[in-house]
A and B are shown apart, each in its own frame.
Chain A
Amino acid sequence: MSMDLLEPREKRKPGGALQGLGVVDCDIHPQFATPGEILTFLPERWRDYVRTYGGFYRQPLADTLSHPRMAPDVARADSWPPGGAPPGGDLAFMQRQHLDANNVDHGMLMPLNRGPGNQRNLEYGAALATAVNDWQIACWVERDARLHASIVCTQEHPPFAIAEIERCAKDPRFSQIMLPPKSLEPLGRRRYWPIFEAAEAFDLPIALHVGGINGYPATGSGWPSYYIEEQHTNVQGMQGLITSMVVEGVFEQFPGLRIVLVEGGVAWAPPLKWRLDKHWKRLKSEAPHLKRLPSEYIHDHFWFTTQPLDEPPEDSDLLETFEQVGLDRIMFSTDYPHWDFDEPSFVAAKLRIGPEKLRAIMSGNARELYGLT
């Protein structure tokens, strides 16, 4: 008598402008089918190392999160595959529950697994980055061409990072470079410039997905008490990243660099532009390398993803805010299979815009940025 929960329910409310539109999802999290799956992608030396010592971040308790999440594995309660893999760890299930069901034409993989960029043992971090990159291709992109891999690397040691970027960049199955937003120094600092140089040379966007390891306090005065507080620090974190990269002069040095902010939301961006512009007008003698208004660098170099969608009391306020950010700079994302997933029809219903602008946000902007068909 029980119905398969993946069987489609009654017809959804009319899709309107979404009808027939294949979306681009800029944030999908793949997971290892089993904890040991990644070991098969590591050389024996590092398999042995992991078995003997394990990974080590800049934090106690490797592989833990700073706060208990809304749900086990940060996942939608209905995203646990019946075969026993964790959420995001079973491609067939992901296809049925998300890629097919939500008409996803292209999905950008955001592997958060094991954080190669934050491993303190740099050689292990580099081997792990290679393994995660190879795993994305073998277990995901090769099995479903809708999916696109992101190059993970060891940002704290640019020579290793660049070697990995060079190894992967010519493979079109990789669409971008992914760096953790929490790094030893603010990301605009010059120690990271060789990575930006490589990204620009290979014409690959850099994705910065919120979160990162908990060895870095989420606020200027430490770790907050509640998950709800920690969730909001994603906004401060994104504002700090933008400010660092703009003010350090990254975009004067690398005018072709494109940055994608993933899962940080959107609505906080206009006031950041206003304030930085105001400060720059009075303080520009301190940073004379900046030739333009901070807001201009931001518009030219940053792309924003929609999830978790800002939900003001009036839907019209959302559209107005998006227009201030720039409708050409906002790209749809779901965060599948995580608990704060956004469904395409929900985002379309909240935005209430004409079909052309909706098409840009749900699909067109990302196709253009990543050169997708």
Chain B
Amino acid sequence: MSKSRFVVARTSDVAPGTSLRVNAGGRDIALFNIAGAFFALGDRCPHESGSLCAGKIVGFAEADEPGKYRLVRDGEFVRCPWHGWEFDIRTGKSWCDPEKSRVRAYQTGVTSGSDLVEGPYVAETFKVSVEENYVVVEI
């Protein structure tokens, strides 16, 4: 089936570091602006369906061993407003359950540039491009 393109927002509607719920083709979509680049996820957490665009935009805390912590990729994850499941805004990948991640990640065929361990759940993702000064979502 061929994909459709939807104009969903003006670029100025979504300031860097914020999100916006939009609708494209009947689907609710959480639109994000990371430093001028736009990304879109299905606005529904795969756990209990919390609305991701109501979630906090955060970084990812990681540690190689107890006592050594660092925050990486600040502003590139959204944390579900309910149970705090975290998703990579760029890919929709969950970082919540690393135990099962490799299996599920390979099955989806999504490759990540990140060297973080990827989670097993994939929020619905949409390609987004900026044409003129509108955000266009491709479904």
Q: A residues touching B (Cβ–Cβ < 8 Å)?
A: 1-3, 5, 9-10, 12, 70-71, 76-79, 339-343, 345-346
Contacts and interface: CB of A to CB of B under 8 A. Distances in A.
Interface stretch (B17-25, B69-77, B87-95): B17-25
Closest 10 CB pairs of A and B: A77-B81, A78-B54, A78-B81, A9-B28, A346-B48, A1-B13, A3-B21, A343-B48, A10-B28, A5-B54
B51 A9 contact: yes
A77 B13 contact: no
A139 B11 CA distance: 43
Given A76-B81, A339-B84, A9 B22 contact: no
9 contacts: A1-B22, A5-B51, A70-B84, A76-B50, A78-B51, A79-B81, A340-B82, A342-B48, A345-B49
Contacts of B113: none
B55 interface: yes
Chain A contact residues: over half helix, strand or loop, or mixed?
loop
Contacts of A9: 21, 28, 43-44, 51
Contact of A12 (B23, B49, B56): B49
A9 B21 CA distance: 9
B13 A2 contact: yes
Contacts of A12: 49
A343 B10 CA distance: 33
A9 B55 CA distance: 15
A317 to B, nearest CB: 16
Given A1-B9, A3-B23, A71-B84, A77 B49 contact: no
Nearest to B28: A9
A10 B54 CA distance: 16
Contacts of A340: 82-83
B27 interface: yes
B118 to A, nearest CB: 19
B82 A339 contact: yes
A364 B106 CA distance: 43
A245 B49 CA distance: 38
B56 A77 contact: yes
A2 B20 contact: yes
Most buried by B among A9, A71, A339, A346: A9
Contacts of A1: 9-10, 13, 20, 22
B26 interface: yes
Given A3-B23, A5-B51, A342-B48, 4 more contacts: A2-B20, A9-B28, A76-B82, A339-B83
